[in-house]
Structure 1
Amino acid sequence: MPGMEDFHNGSEGSFNSEEADSVVKECIESVVGADDYSQNQVNKWTASIVERCLTQLMKQGKAYKYIVTCAVMQKTGAGLHTANSCYWDTTMDGSCTVRWENRTMYCVVSVFAVAIA
């Protein structure tokens, strides 16, 4: 099923979801890396991932307001379902969601980019 990111593939002036996807993956890897899930670390990890993503996205110097969310969940066989909906200018604004995992946990990060008028 196509996501919003499929409609924003980097054309000039619009949100580049592939770039954002790469930034998010790098941020998750730098914070969590090969660590095993630890309930005591989840708050620190989520805050660090969100802060790093925002910092790296802002460094690109594009005229966007960013909203970043992060969820970390231990792999236990339980299900995790997320959804979002946006009412915005689809020619300029965009989003991407990254699902990252290692052998003990899942990390789901969503980035919403709203063009500054």
Structure 2
Amino acid sequence: MMVDDLDSSEQTAFVVEGEVDPIVRGVIEKVLHNETYVESKVPHWINSVCEDVMEGLTELRKPFKYIVTCVIMQNTGAGMHTEHSGFCDAVNDGMCVVKWPAEKSKDQNTMYCIVTVYGLGF
């Protein structure tokens, strides 16, 4: 089957599972996996995560405008709460939120990273 044969809704869907989520998780893992929280490195990490996620998303060649946000917080035991709200087209637009590490892990206990991707259809 050729790409041209696919239903146009399949070509233009904002697919979190299987497309967006794996890109985001892969980038976070690549940038932060062996790192220990150092405040002076956080701006560089955030920039790398946002740029690399955006690059991965554009390689999907989907008709979306993307917004990528990244928060990196030192794990001090304090809580963190975040909320997202927007008015958009529920059919054509989408959002993906990735928290890293996904589970409390002995491998990474110095920081948390939360990346949000908004995909807005043209």
> TM-score band, normalised by the shorter chain?
0.7 to 0.9
CA deviation after TM superposition for structure 1 residue 61, in Å: 0.3
Percent of aligned pairs with the same residue? Answer: 42
1:88 maps to amino acid: C
TM-score (norm 2): 0.83
1:49 maps to amino acid: V
1:111 maps to amino acid: V
Unaligned ranges ≥5, structure 1: 1-10
1:96 maps to amino acid: C
* Secondary structure of the corresponding residue to residue 53 of structure 1: helix
- Please show how residues 1-117 of structure 1 align to structure 2 within 5 Å: 12=10, 13-18=12-17, 19-101=19-101, 102-116=108-122
Q: What is the number of equivalent residue pairs in this alignment?
A: 106
- Indicate the RMSD between aligned Cα atoms, in angstroms: 1.1
CA deviation after TM superposition for structure 1 residue 80, in Å: 0.9
TM-score (norm 1): 0.87
Unaligned ranges ≥5, structure 2: 1-8, 102-107
Aligned mates of 1:103, 1:27 — CA distance in 2 = 18
1:50-92 Cα offsets, whole Å, 9 max, x none, are 0000010001100000000000011101111111111111111
* Secondary structure of the corresponding residue to residue 88 of structure 2: coil
Aligned mates of 1:90, 1:14 — CA distance in 2 = 11
Aligned mates of 1:35, 1:51 — CA distance in 2 = 18
* Secondary structure of the corresponding residue to residue 34 of structure 2: coil
1:25-60 Cα offsets, whole Å, 9 max, x none, are 001111112211111110000011000000100011
Larger radius of gyration: 2
2:111 maps to amino acid: M
List structure 1 segments (4+ residues) > 6 angstroms apart after TM superposition: none
Aligned mates of 2:54, 2:86 — CA distance in 1 = 19
Aligned mates of 2:74, 2:112 — CA distance in 1 = 6
What is residue 8 of structure 1 aligned with on the other side? none
Aligned mates of 1:60, 1:14 — CA distance in 2 = 11
Aligned mates of 1:97, 1:52 — CA distance in 2 = 16
